[in-house]
Chain A
Amino acid sequence: MDWAVVLKVQAGNVGAFDQLVQKYRQQIFAVIYNMTSNREDASDLTQETFIKAFQAIGRFRGKSSFFTWIYRIAVNTSMTFLKKRNRRRFISYENIDEEASSSEIVERLTASNRSEKGAIVSELQERLNDALQKLSPKHRTVIILHEIEGLEHAEIAEITQTSIGTVRSRLHYAKQQLQSFLQDYLA
């Protein structure tokens, strides 16, 4: 389906590109937001990702899926940004969806903590973002794509242009790191 839209754009129907934006903007934003932990940067880099894709779509030959291609652009755009940003970190968290406040995990934390639900949610959000930012960008990428976005190892390997073995290895190491950072919450 994506390929048909890509062909339309390549044929000169520029407006058709909007369909691809509408379809992938939330996922792309989520990846970049979790990479940067800054909603303004994530918004800017998500737009940059789509502009790069728009400029290069004439040369997209469909060897990989559009989904893989746009994710690769997003990941590389984030990586370039993070290298430039160096150690300077500006945290700007995204809103938590209301459904999450009543999720099972929040209920469990609230039940025995006696703290206000809002405070627990904010605390968890801060701890998770902080833990992710402690990972190296490469390890952060695989954990975000696999555990948060739910992509398969093979898809991640294609996006990051590495082997499946490398993806598994990075994932294993990243999980170990996160478990040590978040041990207060875990068994």
Chain B
Amino acid sequence: MANPPEDSRHNISLEDLLRFKRAERPDQAFWEQFDQQLHQRMLQTLVRKDPWYVQLMHALTGKIAQSTAVAGVAAALAVGVLRPAFVASNDSSQPGLVAQASMNAGSEVDDHVGPAVALMETAPMTAEADYSIDGLSVMAGAGPDAVMRDFGLDQINVASHDRSAYSADIAFPGFATAGVTSSVY
């Protein structure tokens, strides 16, 4: 070990010595390798699979969302289709009159609504026919706008189902949250 010079002792402060530490710097080749390794590690992070518990959580969340969507559509159908029919059947002592009244109402709006309603009137007694009865019974005595609103509701139910099904498939937000919170201070 080389001994520090006697006469330099009064000229050097601790701050001077520590400033010397700033001179310990890597060269350009080091930084080139550093950048290369960092980019590689960042890419690996992007494609790294989540731990099993995170995957399980995503799977369960997806199943729950799917089940909720199906239940929602079923409930909407029950409320929108079956209940008005049930109420209508209770209001009338003779079920046949409901259909008759609906057919009458349909003929009243036929001029305004056009081919769509006319088509439903001639359709066989299937699911579509059920919709047509529902629509016509609701807007008995109302204008053609009521028919359009009723169809609009059906479209919203279908769109709602699609949206929840797609949202359950989004993968990136899951990645962004995985295992980061605990490691950042």
Write the residues of chain A forming the contact surface with B, with a CB cutoff of 8 angstroms: 21, 25-26, 29-30, 33-34, 39, 43, 46-47, 50-56, 58-59, 72-73, 76, 93-97, 99-100, 103, 105-106, 108-109, 111-113, 115, 119-120, 123-125, 128, 132, 143, 147-148, 175, 178-179, 182, 184-187
Q: Are B17 and A47 in contact (CB under 8 A)?
A: no
CB proximity of A60 to chain B, nearest CB, Å: 9
Whether, in the assembled complex, B163 has its beta carbon less than 8 Å from a beta carbon of chain A, the answer is: no
Instruction: Give every chain B residue within 8 A of A21 (Cβ-Cβ).
Output: 35, 38
Contact segment of B3-11, B83-91, B98-106: B3-11
Residues of chain A within 8 A (CB-CB) of B181 are: 56, 59
How far is it, in angstroms, between the C-alpha of A182 and the C-alpha of B8 when the chains are bound?
Answer: 13
- Inter-chain contact B17/A43, CB cutoff 8 Å: no
Of B2, B20, B184, the contact of A115 (CB 8 Å cutoff): B2
A95 neighbours in B (Cβ, 8 Å): 24-27
A-B contact pairs, 25 of them (CB 8 A): A39-B26, A43-B34, A46-B34, A50-B38, A51-B45, A53-B184, A55-B176, A55-B183, A56-B180, A56-B184, A59-B180, A76-B185, A95-B25, A95-B26, A103-B23, A105-B16, A109-B4, A120-B2, A124-B20, A125-B24, A128-B18, A128-B21, A182-B17, A186-B17, A187-B12
Given A47-B37, A76-B185, A187-B9, A113 contacting B2 (CB threshold 8 A): yes
